[in-house]
Structure 1
Amino acid sequence: MNFHLWQPCNMRCGFCFARFKDVRAEVLPAGHLTANEALEVVSLLAEAGFKKITFAGGEPFLCPWLSDLLEAAHQLDMTTSVVTNGSLVTETASLTGLIDWLVVSIDSLSPQVLLELGRTTAGRPLPETTYRALCEDVTQAGIQLKINTVVTRVNRREDLSSFIIAAGPRRWKILQMLPIVGQNGGANNALSVTDDEFEEFVQRHEWVSQYGIDVVPENNDAMTGSYAMLDPAGRFFDNVNGCYTYSASILECGVTAALGQVTLVRSKYLARGGRYNWNNPSPPALAHRGTD
């Protein structure tokens, strides 16, 4: 389950498919539920049988009660994961025991490319040294590291192989930029790439799997209708029509009824490798850290 608990973000990525400005304008003016409501969402998901929860945004580390949600999820025997742009993660040791997986979004190591993408805070991109230090701190803290990379028009020719090998994530998810009407402009977004361009990026990097890194590419088709997702208002949503279709809030009608109001294709979820051994992960690929 991906719970986009926090609409606000401190970056403005041009490809972002989780802006939820429509949710904030039409449903949830603050861009998030209250702490108690968010805790109830976690409880309802656990009761419904979800075993793993990923907290996403926006930027979830902006949420003052994120640690409370993580602790509650653990108490309910759920594996926890957080997707972050990395700009606000400073004390990884304090996250031990709360976060099982930290997912860091790293799309480029080029300051110019990051500027073009809008992946900046106060107009400044994170330097490569910050990404390297964060990845090392995460694994040293005993947290499983995953890296997400979105392939776009401006980074499609970049080679991140050396960095990925040095960082040693357990999983590296390579995502084709997904156009969504109402979020990033849909098919008119100039950052989108063709299937062939995406495949070229994947083929350039697949060989890093020999270092014990699970390389997981997902093109637009693989990402469509294959994720269980909640918006900041606690509503399921799907992307099968090129835009978001929302259910009623699970706080109002429960998980089962709300899930029945959106499309989730189990076969596509399984085909993209959504079910893997997240409870008993193998050690991260530390042996190659620091290589060029």
Structure 2
Amino acid sequence: MTNSARPSRAILNFAHRCAMKCEWCYVPFGDSSVQESVVAKVVERIAELGFTRLTFGGGDPFQYQFIANTLELAKKLGLFVHVDTHGLGLSETDETLALLKSTVDLLGLPLDGSSAAIHEEMRQSPGHYARTMQKLAWLSDFRSHLKLNTIVSQFNINNLPALANVVCSLKPSRWSIYQYWPVGPASRVERRHALTESAFLEAADRLREAILFDDIALEVNSAESRRNTYPIIHHDAKVFVHAAHPENTFVHVGSIFDDHVMDRIRTTCIEDRPAAIERYGSQ
């Protein structure tokens, strides 16, 4: 049965490789190499199918030299352009900053702990905390379009109040906290990171009560609130949706270029969750 609600956002993941080794990542890396021409056609097809918001995700989109062309194309097609990056490929140049200002509506960077020790244990990447802080300082003129992303698991949940103070000092426009979800490859570390939805939401409520976020929007995303609110499209055009609860797997529904792919997507996907709709505004 096809849902009456039409998903408005798609995620485009570069699933060939990533420079980081985050053990809880849901992306099944190892797809074929990335071709600029194919990526461009995928973006055009996403717009053609009626999606209005596109999230570029990882592996890091900025590891590819052609990404400027891709972002410019997405913007030209009228899409709300959201890019999530771990920052390693984000060069600190005037040209990059100009590209961000002209093509990117929302830029997400990770911050998973209030200290290098906690953040880097979560990310399995020594030195990444300092590099992230350096990127955030460089992006000071872009903070109105900046979102910080935090994966919350049993490992770092008790650090959230201290992390909130760090986030407030950095003054992004939005802080998105995500309950660890053992979906896809992330299921391999469920014993280490598993966190109940109630524990996650209670921690979020305590943050709201204790921290004055001023102009920072706190976005709380439980695992189940994210299920089937968007299709996930790989750089080689394969389309995936989440399996139905309680299965934490992905279902391949074809290619983005298939004639009836939107019918297959709408069979499973519904409208985006309220927190994400508020993130993207009216578009």
TM-score by length of 2: 0.83
Q: Which amino acid counterpart does residue 54 of structure 2 have in structure 1?
A: I
Q: 1:244 aligns with which of 234, 244, 250?
A: 250
Q: Hey, what's the Cα distance between the residues in 2 that align with 1:256 and 1:214?
A: 32
Spell out the pairing of 1:126-165 with structure 2 (5 A cutoff): 126-128=128-130, 130-141=131-142, 144-158=145-159, 159-165=162-168
Structure 2 residue 97 is the aligned partner of structure 1 residue 93: yes
Q: 2:117 aligns with which of 106, 112, 131?
A: 112
Shift of 1:254: 5.9
- Corresponding residue of 2:13: 4
- Corresponding residue of 1:286: none
Structure 1 stretches of 4+ with a deviation exceeding 6 A read: none
Determine what percentage of the aligned residue pairs are the same residue: 21
Output one character per residue of 1:178-212: Cα deviation in whole Å (capped at 9) or x when no partner: 0014x122584421212233124313422546411
Shift of 1:230: 1.3
- Corresponding residue of 2:24: 15
Shift of 1:257: 4.4
What is the DSSP-based 3-state SS (H/G/I as helix, E as strand, rest coil) of the residue aligned with 1:157? helix
User: Is the 1:235–1:258 Cα contact (8 Å) retained in structure 2?
Assistant: no
Shift of 1:42: 0.7
Structure with bigger helix share is 2
- Corresponding residue of 2:216: 213
Shift of 1:155: 0.9
Shift of 1:138: 2.5
Q: Which amino acid counterpart does residue 4 of structure 1 have in structure 2?
A: N
Q: Which has the higher contact order (CA 8 A, sep 6+)?
A: 2
Q: After the TM superposition, which of the residue ranges 229-238 and 159-168 deviates more from structure 2?
A: 229-238
Q: 1:179 aligns with which of 182, 190, 195?
A: 182
User: Is the 1:45–1:255 Cα contact (8 Å) retained in structure 2?
Assistant: no
Output one character per residue of 1:16-75: Cα deviation in whole Å (capped at 9) or x when no partner: 112x14xx3xxx432x3x111110011111112222211001221112221111000111
Q: Hey, what's the Cα distance between the residues in 1 that align with 2:153 and 2:76?
A: 39
Q: Hey, what's the Cα distance between the residues in 2 that align with 1:187 and 1:90?
A: 32
Residue correspondences, number: 264
- Corresponding residue of 1:230: 233
TM-score by length of 1: 0.81
Shift of 1:221: 1.3
Q: Hey, what's the Cα distance between the residues in 2 that align with 1:165 and 1:197?
A: 23
Q: Which amino acid counterpart does residue 191 of structure 1 have in structure 2?
A: H
What is the DSSP-based 3-state SS (H/G/I as helix, E as strand, rest coil) of the residue aligned with 2:268? coil
Q: Hey, what's the Cα distance between the residues in 1 that align with 2:279 and 2:37?
A: 31
Q: Hey, what's the Cα distance between the residues in 1 that align with 2:222 and 2:188?
A: 15
**Root-mean-square deviation (Å):** 2.5
Structure 2 residue 166 is the aligned partner of structure 1 residue 166: no
Q: Which amino acid counterpart does residue 182 of structure 2 have in structure 1?
A: P
Structure 2 spans left out of the alignment, 5+ residues: 1-9
What is the DSSP-based 3-state SS (H/G/I as helix, E as strand, rest coil) of the residue aligned with 1:96? helix
User: Is the 2:111–2:119 Cα contact (8 Å) retained in structure 1?
Assistant: no
User: Is the 1:179–1:189 Cα contact (8 Å) retained in structure 2?
Assistant: no
Output one character per residue of 1:197-248: Cα deviation in whole Å (capped at 9) or x when no partner: 3124313422546411111111111111222321333222122331010111
Counterparts in 2 of 1:10 and 1:189: CA distance versus 1, 3 Å: farther
What is the DSSP-based 3-state SS (H/G/I as helix, E as strand, rest coil) of the residue aligned with 2:198? helix
Q: Hey, what's the Cα distance between the residues in 2 that align with 1:188 and 1:154?
A: 11
